[in-house]
Structure 1
């Protein structure tokens, strides 16, 4: 029987909180734009594209907050930063009880700030509970558990729309029952997070960081060549998520040729995306650090190739105006429900692979600056998501796919360059020659990045100097 170390147990418990929160939030997010469009058609006081506007506002504030909140996260700790974030999600969800533009846009802005607290706090707490021996496994394990939220949400939406369409659900007002359910689940997740244990590997205390100090560190990191290369991957994660969580589901809902009840098909799409995410997380949680043999760069390349294949299929089988309005048009070929579901699974699978490798890159290279590094990751990701949702009301399907395909190619190139030139130097700093029993706690790798270079401190308290990352 394999005994789990304390850090892994903490990561599992954190993952359960995220699974609960995003079961509720992503179920709502998945149908947000079609729901709002239906409410507008019913005569509600809301713009038909308010869902896209909401996403754009959310990610705009998320972008700004990611640059500023690292010292606050360090001050109030990762756990309480996440709790703050959880309650902004709950406030946003409550707005769907009585949809109106003012509340939707206001809580979208608050959610953007709260999401920054949530994700930067999550990255910091994850880093503080991983060693070089457990980073690959724990990252994939977190992703695996977390992504059961998407599968569960898809199943929930399937039964929700099994006997009624979106129009009927909005007309009857029954969707409000589900808002109460979602909010209750989110509250449970927030309470579980509030009672998370202290991190297994508490970093050495440093002087309190001011806003000016954190901006200095952040802008020092942002200028470094490794971070500039990773920025292409960060940007692509934002484009990818925006597409599979909102734009592609809207395409399915608006493509009438896919069937009589495309909302039900949308729910099946969510299930397929969740399965893709879970399978990817399961593969990497089983392989653990052995995935390093293949290399993070090659794994990212594989994921990008899978996404490019998916984009080609979507272009061939979906009408050009599917992201914009309900349509009777067809693509180059007649829309096919099986192809639509296959692409959903492929999108989820590829996205999960890229996300787990991003976490691995950052935990490997920036363990001492985890708050700043994860803030930059979310900063870039939020920029691309903001752009994606801003142009959503103007872009046809071809415009979206061309943009995302270009960044998929750039991400693959950047991953190869970053791994070959820089991050391979951190691959050998784990305790390769130390036999560590699974039940024994191991010391985390500590990487101190300075203007002159980076100092790596191993568990034996020896230090090595590596090439300047600038």
Structure 2
């Protein structure tokens, strides 16, 4: 089909081959990846920026911080059951339902109180688990269908689709923070037609655009026979606990948990204890924009070079080396300084951390798509269970422990995660060779 031999150009943009013996035009599943990426771009440009602002705009009795902790605890709990719901509903319906929680959360910020924020956070925890398991399932299904229909290498297509999606997703940090910076540049945090009132109204409009785009996704062919509507509680519990008895899942759990830890570190520790002392509150938006830009670029590049389990192993190892170098630097070499150097160092750390985050996002999702072909929903549910549990732990522990203690915890967690991951990939690679 690719007579010129350049098969790698086909995963994202496909040109019809008129010489094909098959008269039926294969479907370009990459279009669904574009729609999904833009939908998440609108939704999470709003939500990501709103999340970054919670500790500063909703300060009454710690309403913003506590709401985020409740949100991620709810996210953790419902992620346990998310695979069942997504498999029952189908990934497209799950994605559409998932947008409702983000809409409600942004709307509650227009009138923040314990009576609006706490229920909205609880509901968002449920819908976030649904939308993220749906996203991983839908994107993987689209990649597999695209590879099959166009006779492409499946691993390469999965990597390319994940690279595009996570590149768009990482860009939300840049766009959302720039919107916040523009609308709050005068320091006006009042409600009504200015300040945060206008900001969250704009965010609500972004959410609506993203929700509308979700409705244009194609319905994917997904299996439902494993979870009939009349399934017993025992059957459902078995489907939830069975993955924990599989060695591949147990070996990948430390990496899933660390991916949550390193994200929450940016939100809870990096901005508060590294960026703010050096650049002030006004510099947080700029630092997060640099982090997001590095994240987006690394996501695209990592996805582009992903084709097999070996490439995933190499890329994850590269991202791990970068982050452990940054952690060791913060523990033993970093100190607050004046002048241009003091302003540049936090931005450099943010860029390094963004590269690592882009690597982990693309490669973990590609890895799950490659290893768990029969139980895709369950694999992505495990990702969100351990990821959100780690995020919630950081939010609740951050006020109680110092930066040095958190950095040591991060180093230990990363070393454990990489060790288990390397054992997993070497074991799986060896097994696949023996089978051949």
Which TM-score bucket, shorter chain as reference? 0.7 to 0.9
Asked if 1:421 corresponds to 2:415, the answer is no
Partner of 2:93: 80
Greater helix content:
2
Partner of residue 159 from structure 1, selected from 182, 185, 195: 182
Asked if 1:296 corresponds to 2:294, the answer is no
Partner of residue 169 from structure 1, selected from 183, 186, 189: 189
CA–CA distance in structure 1, aligned partners of residues 422 and 333 of structure 2 = 32
TM-score calculated relative to the size of structure 1: 0.79
Residue pairs, 1:188-199, within 5 angstroms: 188-199=209-220
Contact map agreement 2:137 2:376 (CA 8 A) in 1:
yes
CA deviation after TM superposition for structure 1 residue 223, in Å: 1.6
SS at match of 2:324: helix
SS at match of 1:295: helix
Partner of residue 248 from structure 2, selected from 226, 235, 245: 226
SS at match of 2:399: coil
SS at match of 2:142: coil
Contact map agreement 1:58 1:111 (CA 8 A) in 2:
yes
Contact map agreement 2:87 2:223 (CA 8 A) in 1:
no
CA deviation after TM superposition for structure 1 residue 391, in Å: 0.9
SS at match of 2:281: helix
> Unaligned regions of 5+ residues in structure 1, if any?
38-45, 319-330, 429-464
SS at match of 2:29: helix
CA–CA distance in structure 2, aligned partners of residues 301 and 263 of structure 1 = 34
Partner of residue 366 from structure 2, selected from 360, 363, 368: 360
Asked if 1:147 corresponds to 2:170, the answer is yes
> Unaligned regions of 5+ residues in structure 2, if any?
1-8, 15-26, 145-153
SS at match of 2:218: coil
SS at match of 1:368: coil
Mean alpha-carbon deviation: is it higher for 409-418 or for 297-306? Answer: 297-306
Contact map agreement 1:143 1:352 (CA 8 A) in 2:
yes
Partner of 1:280: 298
Contact map agreement 2:184 2:195 (CA 8 A) in 1:
no
1:75-132 Cα shifts (integer Å, max 9, x gaps) = 2111111111111111111122222233222211111111001101111111211122
Partner of 1:402: 408
Partner of 2:265: 243
Contact map agreement 1:141 1:282 (CA 8 A) in 2:
yes
1:302-342 Cα shifts (integer Å, max 9, x gaps) = 21221122224444687xxxxxxxxxxxx465592211111
CA 1:136/1:7 → structure 2, altered by over 3 Å: closer, same or farther? Answer: same
CA deviation after TM superposition for structure 1 residue 399, in Å: 2.1
Contact map agreement 1:299 1:353 (CA 8 A) in 2:
yes
1:223-260 Cα shifts (integer Å, max 9, x gaps) = 211111100001101111111134322335642xx24x
Partner of 2:58: 36
1:243-288 Cα shifts (integer Å, max 9, x gaps) = 1134322335642xx24xx233111112111111111112123324
RMSD: 2.5
CA–CA distance in structure 2, aligned partners of residues 97 and 207 of structure 1 = 42
Partner of 1:123: 136
TM-score calculated relative to the size of structure 2: 0.84
CA deviation after TM superposition for structure 1 residue 52, in Å: 2.6
Partner of 2:5: none
Contact map agreement 2:177 2:289 (CA 8 A) in 1:
yes
Partner of 2:3: none
Partner of 1:185: 206
CA–CA distance in structure 2, aligned partners of residues 157 and 115 of structure 1 = 23
Mean alpha-carbon deviation: is it higher for 221-230 or for 97-106? Answer: 97-106
Residue-pair matches, total = 398
